[in-house]
Amino acid sequence: MKLHQQAKLNHLSFPTVNVAETAAFFEKYLGCEVVAAGQHCLLKRNGFDIVLEHIEDNVEPVWPGNFHFGLEVDTLEDLQTLYQEFLDGGVRMETGIFNNTRGSRFFCRAPGGVLIEINTRADMQQDQWRKLF
């Protein structure tokens, strides 16, 4: 196996104007463990790191068009529960829950502006997608 094929995704790094607020969001809603805090922050989740980097100019980053990362839950009920938790917590919602041929999902924004997709494939409508996941 070639060396580049062995490399695994190590971390994501997100700029934010408020590291503490963004870290609290990832901890509360996405189950991340805050392992280092200060001007920058390291979060851990399932063997994966998220680095939150403080922006000095205090201007929220502008993310390209549909740039986002996605998380998947097991059931439509899980998706609905998380959606309601986000709404009740005042999270900036970009969509309601909707279904496309790959299952149900919604989009929201974390503090700092990064777009997050939460989805389930439990109610996938077309068998053509099942073989891909």
Q: Hunting for tokens 């496309």 — which residue is that?
A: 100
What is the token pair recorded at 91?
Answer: 């999270």
65-133 in CATH: which number?
Answer: 3.10.180.10
Quote the pTM value.
Answer: 0.84
For 17-41, the pLDDT digits (tens) are: 889 999 999 999 999 999 877 788 9
Q: In the chain, what are the domain boundaries?
A: 11-55, 65-133
23, 116 Cβ separation under 8 angstroms = no
For 50-88, the pLDDT digits (tens) are: 999 998 887 888 888 889 989 999 999 999 999 999 999
What is the token pair recorded at 53?
Answer: 């980097």
Strand partners, 80: none
pLDDT score of 133 more than 70: no
Tell which residue, 121, 125, 88, 93, has the closest CA to residue 107.
93
Question: In the structure, what pLDDT confidence band is assigned to residue 129 with cuts at 50, 70 and 90?
Answer: low
What fold, for 11-55?
3.30.720
What is the token pair recorded at 15?
Answer: 């700029």
pLDDT at 62: 86
